[in-house]
Amino acid sequence: MTLDQFIAKYSGKYIDYDGKYGFQCTDLMRQYLKEVCGFSPYIAVPSVTYAKEIYAKAKPTFFEKIPNGEKNFPEKGDIVVWKFYPGVTGWPGHVAVNITGAPMNLISFDQNWKTGTPCHRQLHNYKGVIGWLKPKKV
């Protein structure tokens, strides 16, 4: 499945991948890892308490880790991770799948941004972005 097919399949829907805690941003990421990347989601990214931990815990066998910087931006299909940033994210941080990136902002496929929303396209700036994970072909 491609990212575009994944977006078409899940736009406007809720994903609860683990069957716990309701629909979270991490559930969308894990469904993406399984259906588009072909990864075992909990091997590629072990269990986390908060989304902000994903960047640190993601396994380098499966991802290239790219820190957020002034002169780079994520590409289509990269997994973007946010830390806690007052006025932007809550304590848990956030994770989403990038659709398009540019120097000032990005559009990603998100769930639970803002709280309670189903899967949708979302415009973001880079406030609070730790970096992104570029899936490798394994």
Q: Angle at Cα 86 formed by Cα 13 and Cα 57, nearest 5°? A: 65
Instruction: Give the pLDDT band of residue 137 (cuts 50, 70, 90).
Output: confident
Residue 27 has pLDDT above 70, yes or no: yes
Residue 132 has pLDDT above 80, yes or no: yes
**How buried is residue 33: exposed, middle or buried, by Cβ count under 10 Å (0-12/13-18/19+)?**
buried
Note down the domain range covering 34. 3-135
pLDDT at 19: 96
How far is the C-alpha of 68 from the C-alpha of 66, rounded, in Å? 7
Three-state DSSP class for residue 28: helix
Three-state DSSP class for residue 67: strand
How far is the C-alpha of 74 from the C-alpha of 68, rounded, in Å? 9
How far is the C-alpha of 104 from the C-alpha of 22, rounded, in Å? 32
Query: What is the number of domains present in the chain?
Result: 1
Q: What is the pLDDT of residues 44-82, one digit of tens each?
A: 999 999 999 999 999 999 999 999 998 999 999 999 999
Please report, for the domain that includes residue 86, its CATH number: 3.90.1720.10
pTM equals: 0.97
Average pLDDT over residues 13-21: 96
